Chains A and B, each alone.
Chain A
Amino acid sequence: MSADLDQLENQSIYILREAYNRIDKLAMLWSIGKDSNALLWLCRKAFFGRIPFPVVQLDTAMELPEVYEFRDRITKEWDLDLKVEQCPPEEEMDQTLPPLTRAAARKTEGLKNLLRDHAYQGVMVGIRRDEQATRAKERVFSPRSLEGDWDVKDQPAEFWDHYKTRFPEGVHVRIHPLLAWTELDIWRYSQREGIPIVPLYFAKDGKRYRSLGEKNITFPVDSNASTIDEIIAELQVTRVPERAGRAMDNESEDSFERLRSVGYM
């Protein structure tokens, strides 16, 4: 029985279709991680096989080789309209940020360049509320200024699936179709649907990646889970947070919050 997965799937499809209908120029961010792979899958369901907007990877050239290999294979197999946006170097980042957070900020700048150069009015991002406390406060349709600033204190009302879809000039919207999903939901859904997964998620020599990021700021966690079944079993008992292997989150009390308030995903 997976009535709850059906419900999540139906809701995400509804959100994707609202975004496609209401927002003029749309793109989806693809980090190649498990969440955005599930999001790609949902897009294919929502639009009957063909994803009607480009899929963008914000590339820092620092991903693990398995990630690039997976990206190229899936792009071909699923006939994706892939655009790779090269992120600016670390030297150009705000030097007051802690060093690891600075590395992550490259993606924020890459996203700003992407928005500026292609005039996208909406970007879909596969973040979830249960990943991190600041993401828990997100709206499904979350407006941002051109600089990517997120005004957490003045977010639009969102009720009965009526989303904010009209914006003044210069504002873009982040669309979060997976907000209500949990890490466990994503794994159960990936298993049920047979969604391809980057092999780094599966344990090798007692270690696996629980959350995928650039190789300089992400580390594998202790685990023996080498199949989706084992990962699901592990998640049902673990008390280690999902982003424990993400160095930048743990650098200082507010580092992730600082990243997000200026436009990080």
Chain B
Amino acid sequence: MPHSQLRIVIVGHVDHGKSTLIGRLLNDTGSLPDGKVEQVREMSRKRGMPFEWAFVMDALQAERDQGITIDTTQIHFKTKQRPYVIIDAPGHTEFLKNMVTGASQADAALLVIDADEGALEQSRRHAFLLHLLGVRQVAVVVNKMDKVEFSSRRYEVVAQEIKDYLAELGLQPKAVIPVSARNGDNIVSRSEQSDWYLGPTVIEQLDAFRPQQTSPDQPLRFPLQDVYKPDDRRILAGRIESGRLRVGDTLHFSPTGASAKVVSIEAWNHPETVLSAQAGQSIGITLDKRIFAERGHIAHHQADAPTLAHRLSVRLFWLVSDPLVVGKTYTLKIATGEHRVTVEQVTAVIDVEDLSSTPGKAVRRNEVAEVVLRSRSPIALDLASELPRTGRGALIDGNDVVGGCLVVEIEDAAAANITEVSHTVSLEERSQANGHKGGIVWLTGLSGAGKSTLAMALERALFDRGWQTFVLDGDNVRNGLNAGLGFSSDDRAENIRRVAETAKLFADAGMVVIASLISPLKSDRARARVIGGERFHEVYVAADLATCEERDPKGLYKKARAGEIAEFTGISAPYEAPDQPELVIDTDALSRSEALAQLLDYVDETLGKNSLKSEKELTYVI
């Protein structure tokens, strides 16, 4: 017998008999521990009820007393073919999030419908959610056939109705099985009472389902979970969501566009060298060069990149009482990446009864809708129909997961309304005309470390050599471009983002931009690096806090020590020194002119005439 288990979810309207069916399956396959049947008999007797199979599942006191299943429960059983995990999903409307929790883990689903009542609202909602959650293998169980005297006519009516509904969702049930869970008809053995039914029993159908598998032949998606430095290795850790990667592959990272070669696939307590890994594996890799890569970035091969989108249509389900509203901003989490998105439009709220849709301004709890989301920064993603694991996500509001969604349409950033006009003057032409490249020299360091002094001196020196150059000083931009921003952490991050975007425009125009900002947080500087791309040069202007405090050119340390300035970097807020800046200038050790000389050397080497020449020659050689 294979050990590999199949996960099934059993869904349906409240009181249509899901728990009873499960109790039966466990008993009839001999999967109940000794003493359980007696325990259930005793529990039923105490409550003055006939023998109740549902009590097998309803382990919690509260549930037994209320007579409804509250949460999803996972129970293991075996047939002769293989082991199973049953995820019992509750039918009560307010417990939708538990149903979603259960069903999203399933390989296959049984939809239980009362033969007498037919498909009710929850039956349809659950079917719709199965479709939304990506459960493709579904069988329908028409239960309580004993209540309709095993009428084949009644069965046909109920079966046809649910088949029609499922067809509209693009789902075709593998079987529609008439059963009486209470009496055990057509569960394990074929019932004599339904000799008109020729299809499989419940167990036969379960054994015919196949485990859900991710194919390694799909495009590679390796979303990063974390970066570890256990020793001198720098390991990018994550799980391959689709496709396969090999040692030696060149990986590209979205949305940064960085690329590097895979040097190794790291493994602990694994004697053989690992040369490739595929979908489903949690791995760690090392690269041939140090690139900026962090949690949320997605590695892929160049040929099959995910789409970079600012605007996307999703089909979503909403789980909480606060409705989703147009104009509100949420966090969209796709794989490990988190993105701020604003609801632009509720295109349609879908009525799960008849699948009709109406436009609206809000999506309420338990509703399903088509919604357009917009993000300020580009999101790397796929269509759910192509690569489900990078084409679906959770919506988070504050501390809570409030909904889930599938990406159904993507507006490619390249094709969006904001079309980037291509310039007729190329970067190379600008560089040739100026005699140097454009670039961003980003000076970071404590207040008083000497950033502004160094920035102004560099600007003077470059200008005197005939270079196009300009200083963007942290304090100066706050008077104009960023006048509306305060000093909250969000505002500080936005301040840095704007300076980086502005610096990029200057650099695109061919200038050497000298940005002088404390920019204390690694994450903010990392974002600036993403914006600036390869034109970004991080220079750490280093000095001891004590030295800076002694210099205190603006008298700020004194004020901060007196408590007059809240969150002052170095005193009451952290400064995160760069791990690997392009250049470190230690103003403790160097004189002003030595510091300038060192910086000037670096700029000349990376942006000056020689850097142009080698590029030019290379072009001719190729």
Q: Which residues of A contact B (CB under 8 A)?
A: 1-7, 9-11, 13-14, 17-18, 20-21, 44-50, 129-130, 133-134, 136-137, 139, 152-153, 155-160, 162, 164, 166-168, 180, 182, 188, 193, 239-241, 253-254, 257
**Other than the known A157-B404, A160-B104, A160-B404, what 18 A-B pairs have Cβ atoms closer than 8 Å?**
A1-B2, A5-B3, A7-B4, A10-B280, A47-B228, A48-B284, A134-B59, A134-B60, A136-B74, A136-B75, A137-B60, A137-B71, A157-B319, A157-B401, A162-B404, A166-B398, A193-B269, A241-B33
Q: Which residues of B contact A (CB under 8 A)?
A: 2-5, 32-34, 43, 59-62, 70-76, 85, 97-98, 100-101, 104-105, 133, 225-226, 228, 230, 233, 235, 237-239, 266-269, 280-282, 284, 295, 319, 333, 389, 392-394, 396, 398-401, 404
Min CB–CB distance B223 → chain A (angstroms): 11
Contact (A7, B280) CB under 8 Å given A160-B404, A162-B393: yes
For B404, list chain A residues within 8 Å (CB).
157, 159-160, 162
For A160, list chain B residues within 8 Å (CB).
104, 389, 392-394, 404
For B101, list chain A residues within 8 Å (CB).
139, 155, 157-159
Is B225 within 8 A of A17, CB to CB? Answer: yes
For A241, list chain B residues within 8 Å (CB).
33-34
| Residue contacts A-B, CB under 8 angstroms, 29 given | A7-B280, A21-B225, A21-B295, A44-B268, A44-B269, A130-B74, A133-B59, A133-B73, A134-B60, A136-B73, A137-B59, A137-B71, A152-B62, A155-B97, A156-B97, A157-B97, A157-B100, A160-B393, A162-B401, A164-B400, A180-B85, A239-B33, A239-B34, A240-B34, A241-B33, A241-B34, A253-B43, A254-B61, A257-B60
Q: Of residues B61, B133, B282, B398, which shows the largest number of chain A Cβ atoms within 10 Å of its Cβ? A: B282
CA distance A164 to B59 in the complex (A): 25
Q: Please list the 10 inter-chain residue pairs (A to B) with the smallest Cβ-Cβ separation, ordered nearest first.
A: A133-B59, A159-B104, A157-B97, A162-B394, A13-B282, A4-B4, A166-B399, A241-B33, A137-B71, A10-B282
CA distance A248 to B75 in the complex (A): 22
Is B226 within 8 A of A17, CB to CB? Answer: yes
Contact of B394 among A3, A4, A159 (CB under 8 A): A159
For A47, list chain B residues within 8 Å (CB).
228, 230
CA distance A158 to B104 in the complex (A): 9
Min CB–CB distance A20 → chain B (angstroms): 7
Is A10 within 8 A of B399, CB to CB? Answer: no
Is B282 within 8 A of A2, CB to CB? Answer: no
For A139, list chain B residues within 8 Å (CB).
101
CA distance A136 to B392 in the complex (A): 27
Contact of A152 among B60, B97, B225, B228 (CB under 8 A): B60
Is A188 within 8 A of B3, CB to CB? Answer: yes
Is B100 within 8 A of A159, CB to CB? Answer: yes
Closest to B42 in A: A253
For B392, list chain A residues within 8 Å (CB).
160
For A166, list chain B residues within 8 Å (CB).
396, 398-400
Min CB–CB distance B90 → chain A (angstroms): 11
Min CB–CB distance B569 → chain A (angstroms): 22
Min CB–CB distance A178 → chain B (angstroms): 13
Min CB–CB distance A249 → chain B (angstroms): 12
Min CB–CB distance B597 → chain A (angstroms): 42
Min CB–CB distance A256 → chain B (angstroms): 9
Contact of A46 among B71, B282, B319 (CB under 8 A): B282
Min CB–CB distance B274 → chain A (angstroms): 13
Contact (A168, B239) CB under 8 Å given A13-B282, A21-B226: no
For A3, list chain B residues within 8 Å (CB).
4
For B281, list chain A residues within 8 Å (CB).
6, 10
Min CB–CB distance B47 → chain A (angstroms): 12
CA distance A44 to B267 in the complex (A): 10
Closest to B31 in A: A239
Is A159 within 8 A of B133, CB to CB? Answer: yes
For B396, list chain A residues within 8 Å (CB).
166
CA distance A156 to B70 in the complex (A): 13
Min CB–CB distance B221 → chain A (angstroms): 14
For B319, list chain A residues within 8 Å (CB).
157
For A134, list chain B residues within 8 Å (CB).
59-60
Contact of B401 among A1, A4, A50, A164 (CB under 8 A): A164
CA distance A51 to B59 in the complex (A): 36
Closest to B5 in A: A4
Contact of B237 among A17, A49, A130 (CB under 8 A): A17
Q: Of residues B59, B228, B230, which shows the largest number of chain A Cβ atoms within 10 Å of its Cβ? A: B59
Contact of B400 among A20, A45, A133, A156 (CB under 8 A): A156
CA distance A7 to B6 in the complex (A): 12
Contact (A153, B71) CB under 8 Å given A4-B5, A49-B230, A50-B230: yes
For B268, list chain A residues within 8 Å (CB).
44-45, 48-49
For A44, list chain B residues within 8 Å (CB).
268-269
Is B266 within 8 A of A14, CB to CB? Answer: no
Q: Of residues A2, A44, A139, A253, which shows the largest number of chain B Cβ atoms within 10 Å of its Cβ? A: A253
CA distance A47 to B266 in the complex (A): 10
CA distance A2 to B5 in the complex (A): 11
Min CB–CB distance B349 → chain A (angstroms): 20
Closest to B99 in A: A157
Is A14 within 8 A of B225, CB to CB? Answer: yes
For B98, list chain A residues within 8 Å (CB).
155, 157
Is A48 within 8 A of B70, CB to CB? Answer: no
Contact of B333 among A152, A162, A188 (CB under 8 A): A162
For A45, list chain B residues within 8 Å (CB).
267-269
CA distance A47 to B227 in the complex (A): 10
Is B230 within 8 A of A48, CB to CB? Answer: yes
For B226, list chain A residues within 8 Å (CB).
17, 20-21
CA distance A83 to B233 in the complex (A): 28
Contact of B60 among A46, A133, A182 (CB under 8 A): A133
Closest to B7 in A: A180
CA distance A183 to B444 in the complex (A): 54
CA distance A48 to B74 in the complex (A): 31
Contact (A18, B399) CB under 8 Å given A46-B282, A49-B230, A137-B72: no
CA distance A10 to B237 in the complex (A): 12
Closest to A15 in B: B282
CA distance A11 to B282 in the complex (A): 7
Is B5 within 8 A of A48, CB to CB? Answer: no
